[in-house]
Amino acid sequence: MMKTSFINPFSNDAKEIVRKLGNIEYLDKKDDDLVNIITHTPSQQLGIDAQIPDTLLKLALKRFEWYLYKKLEDFNEKKYEYLFNPDIYEYDVVSFYLLCQALAIVYGSQSHEVKQLIDSEKELISQRLEKIKAEPTDVQSNFLRNALNQLVDTNNLKWTQIKEVLELGQLDLNNLLLADGRVIIEFEDFIGEYGDLINNRDPMAMYQVTGGVELKSTLLISLVMLHTKEYIRTVEEKTKMVEPNPLLITLAEKIRDVEDDVQEKRFSSKGSNFQNDNQPIPYNMEAFPPCVRKCMKGIKSGSRNDAIVLFLTPFIAYSRLYPGIFGLDEPIKISQVDPTLEITHNEVIPLIYEAAASCSPPLFKDQPQEKININSKLGFGMHSELKLENEGQTQWYTPMSCEKIKLHMSTLCTPNKDCKKIGNPLTYYNRKRRLLEREENNNK
Ligand code: SF4
């Protein structure tokens, strides 16, 4: 039988493990078997630096830490090799439930921490499934069939049954093979539906290209994400009137400490020149470029919608939350710099809405759906409300370049002397801000 560190936490086997190992009294007691598994994991870094977890609670914290530290430049995978050791799966399942419960009880199902946990689960399962790719395709396929059939019937799954899975954004309905509304997942169903149409080609190769192992893996990951969300919601609901266990509170607090540590490391690793710009900084509206000022007074004619949604929204968001975005190689999410969305709700959105209301006619009066487009440009999908749980469904748009503005919204661009040699209104803002700061310091 194939050995893997993946186990579906919502399978009956997993629930049995939790019953066996999840006794609250043992969660912070040293477990020699756990230590033994970790220290015998091939390639595992040992020693003081690796901070091997010796209790279930510490393992839960490490599981979360792995995901956050992975984003740091000096991340060392060898410290967490045990998370991919098949022998750890029983402890891993218990630590997963501990995390779900601690975060649901202390921070709530809509919190940034819960969202991070769901993302980390997705990442962990992806990496674990990646490791089974060394196996022959039919072995992988059977393994995935068994894992999936603990959650759905892969021979009889209507697309309408996975609407919520599709909303997570990992699978696209347009890319699924459907027959009478049924999603074609298994090879025998693929042959049953399309076998007659395949000539001079390897049917298995065709099946793999149109779905196969890739589809099964993505479906499995999405289903686990969805079940995790639901489980956390249930825990939150059930424990509202109950005093939380102090061990879970401590775990939740330690998770916040890890988050703070990661934030600090990320922002301080960019060098002093960037330090201020890679974190939220208060607005200095005096430093806004002419195009932004004009837009904020409201657009009276032409390109009103694009000016507010495509141009102003990204500028207002990045200038407050992450003005140094052009120094970063990868996209970023708002919650990475504004975890509770407090600044976004209290400062960013009001400024955008104010500009929208100053337009003639006011933007939302005749086109209220533009609020959804604004949320989408901030990375929160096509939803009327801006919620953490939807983050990542779309990308956080970066501010438009001067060239594009001149091409598509030429009336906005009335350059002044500071516009020389800059390519983007955000660059203008960062430079001007520093100039003004310097002037202020000199006048002190
Ligand atoms: S040059 Fe760029 S920054 Fe200056 S007004 Fe035009 S678009 Fe704005």
Cβ 211 vs Cβ 176: under 8 Å: yes
Report pTM: 0.64
Distance from the alpha carbon of residue 433 to the mean position of ligand 1, in angstroms = 15
With CA atoms as reference, report the closest residue to 245 among 25, 19, 18.
Answer: 25
SS3 (DSSP) at 303: coil
The pick from 292, 315, 409, 419 for probing ligand 1's pocket by mutation, whose C-beta has the most ligand atoms within 8 angstroms, reads 419
Average pLDDT taken over every residue of the chain:
89
Arithmetic mean of pLDDT, 250-277? 70
With CA atoms as reference, report the closest residue to 385 among 439, 344, 432.
Answer: 344
Distance from the alpha carbon of residue 306 to the mean position of ligand 1, in angstroms = 16
27 CB contacts (<8 Å, ≥6 apart)? 55, 56, 57, 98, 247
- List the structure tokens of 442: 């000199």
The two beta strands, 182-183 and 178-179, are antiparallel
Arithmetic mean of pLDDT, 415-431? 91
Tens digit of each residue's pLDDT (9 = 90 or more) over 78-126: 999 999 999 998 999 999 999 999 999 988 998 888 988 999 999 999 9
- For residue 262, the model assigns a pLDDT of 79
For atom 2 of ligand 1, which residue has the closest CA? 402
Arithmetic mean of pLDDT, 166-191? 91
Arithmetic mean of pLDDT, 404-421? 92
- For residue 419, the model assigns a pLDDT of 93
- For residue 85, the model assigns a pLDDT of 93
The proportion of the chain whose per-residue pLDDT surpasses 90, expressed as a percent, equals 61
Tens digit of each residue's pLDDT (9 = 90 or more) over 371-408: 999 999 999 999 999 999 899 999 999 999 999 999 99
Distance separating alpha carbons of residues 203 and 205, to the nearest angstrom: 5
- For residue 200, the model assigns a pLDDT of 86
pLDDT bracket for residue 198 (50, 70, 90) = confident
Q: Would you tell me how many other CB atoms lie within 10 Å of the CB of residue 333?
A: 18
For atom 7 of ligand 1, which residue has the closest CA? 402
Arithmetic mean of pLDDT, 290-308? 91
Lowest mean pLDDT among 216-230, 270-284, 292-306: 270-284
Distance separating alpha carbons of residues 256 and 211, to the nearest angstrom: 39
71 or 85, which is more confident: 85
- For residue 2, the model assigns a pLDDT of 59
- For residue 273, the model assigns a pLDDT of 44
Amino acid letter for position 286: E
Distance separating alpha carbons of residues 444 and 439, to the nearest angstrom: 9
- For residue 270, the model assigns a pLDDT of 47
132 CB contacts (<8 Å, ≥6 apart)? 2, 4, 6, 139, 140, 143
For atom 6 of ligand 1, which residue has the closest CA? 413
Domain residue ranges of the chain, discontinuous segments joined by +: 12-263, 271-442
